[in-house]
């Protein structure tokens, strides 16, 4: 009888230990599957900035930086599939105006919501594509120059006539908004290479020329500009 009780006690202890191991294993697997699906996102990009609307306006280098969050919507808790996010973005809106041979440096701050889809690749690599919008304020930026010429009539009274022409490029001091399309190439679960374009839907700049004088009639012309950016860089989710 005593041996029977000892064997029963050992069996009960074994079953209890086995059950505890199973529960611990299930708990560990559950924790591994339940990833955090709200991630902070930071990115920094080199950009090629330009404006359309005047053939004398050429591209200039700039940058594009953002800080925000990305929320994955996968019901399994995995960081792939559909996602949405929102970022605070600071970016340049620069250009070179050939008639002045000068670069105009513009800058703006924006809010940029986005939606997209992330597809896993081999190992921990993945690719995501996204689209979104941005809206914010572009600060004032401008460059200008002029030519001023005197003409002597050759009279005994030494009368002079003049002709002055002033050129300029201006951008900003306005609300600017547009669309964003991009792709992220994840090298692991956190680090990614980012490529995107941002196309303004607003007329957020202009070039102008005005002449004054008493030789020929003066003139004034103006061309509206719309900004465009192509950005390449890197980012991190944590």
Instruction: Take residue 235 and report the two structure tokens written for it.
Output: 């980012």
Q: 106: burial class by Cβ within 10 Å (0-12, 13-18, 19+)?
A: buried
Clarify whether residues 65 and 158 are in a common domain: yes
CA gap 15, 228 in Å, rounded: 68
Of 160, 152, 134, 166, give the one whose Cα is nearest residue 68: 134
Instruction: Identify the domain containing residue 17 by its residue range.
Output: 1-34
pTM attached to this predicted model:
0.80
More confidently predicted of 175 and 33: 175
What's the confidence (pLDDT) of residue 77? 77
Place of tokens 């074994």: 14
CATH classification at residue 97: 2.40.160.20
Clarify whether residues 2 and 55 are in a common domain: no
Clarify whether residues 67 and 3 are in a common domain: no
Clarify whether residues 7 and 52 are in a common domain: no
Clarify whether residues 43 and 25 are in a common domain: no
Find the angle CA(132)-CA(50)-CA(95) to the nearest 5 degrees.
Answer: 130
Maximum alpha-carbon separation in the chain? 143
Clarify whether residues 108 and 133 are in a common domain: yes
Clarify whether residues 146 and 182 are in a common domain: yes
Clarify whether residues 154 and 130 are in a common domain: yes
CA gap 43, 233 in Å, rounded: 7
Confidence of residue 146 (pLDDT cuts 50, 70, 90): confident
pLDDT tens digits for 38-82? 999 999 999 999 999 999 999 999 999 999 999 999 988 789 999
Clarify whether residues 1 and 56 are in a common domain: no
Clarify whether residues 76 and 139 are in a common domain: yes
Clarify whether residues 15 and 69 are in a common domain: no
Clarify whether residues 129 and 28 are in a common domain: no
pLDDT tens digits for 163-200? 788 999 999 999 999 999 999 999 999 999 999 999 99
Instruction: Report the number of distinct structural domains present in the chain.
Output: 2
């Amino acid at each position: 009888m005593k041996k029977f009780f000892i064997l029963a006690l050992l069996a009960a202890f074994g079953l209890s230990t086995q059950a505890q191991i199973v529960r611990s294993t299930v708990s560990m697997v559950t924790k591994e599957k339940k990833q955090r699906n709200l991630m902070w996102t930071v990115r920094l990009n080199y950009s090629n900035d330009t404006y359309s609307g005047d053939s004398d306006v050429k591209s200039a280098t700039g940058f594009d930086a953002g800080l925000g969050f990305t929320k994955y919507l996968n019901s399994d808790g995995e960081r792939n599939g559909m996602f949405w996010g929102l970022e605070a973005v600071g970016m340049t809106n620069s250009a070179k105006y050939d008639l002045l041979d000068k670069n105009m440096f513009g800058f703006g701050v924006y809010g940029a919501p986005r939606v997209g889809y992330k597809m896993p690749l081999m190992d921990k690599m993945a690719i995501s594509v996204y689209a979104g919008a941005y809206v914010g304020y572009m600060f004032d930026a401008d460059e200008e120059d002029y030519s001023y010429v005197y003409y002597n009539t050759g009279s005994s009274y030494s009368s002079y006539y003049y002709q002055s022409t002033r050129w300029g490029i201006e951008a900003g001091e306005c609300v600017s908004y547009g669309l964003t399309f991009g792709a992220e190439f994840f090298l692991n679960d956190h680090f990614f290479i980012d490529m995107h374009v941002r196309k303004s839907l607003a007329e957020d700049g202009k070039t102008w020329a005005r002449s004054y004088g008493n030789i020929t009639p003066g003139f004034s012309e103006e061309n509206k500009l719309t900004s465009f950016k192509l950005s390449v860089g890197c980012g991190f989710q944590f």
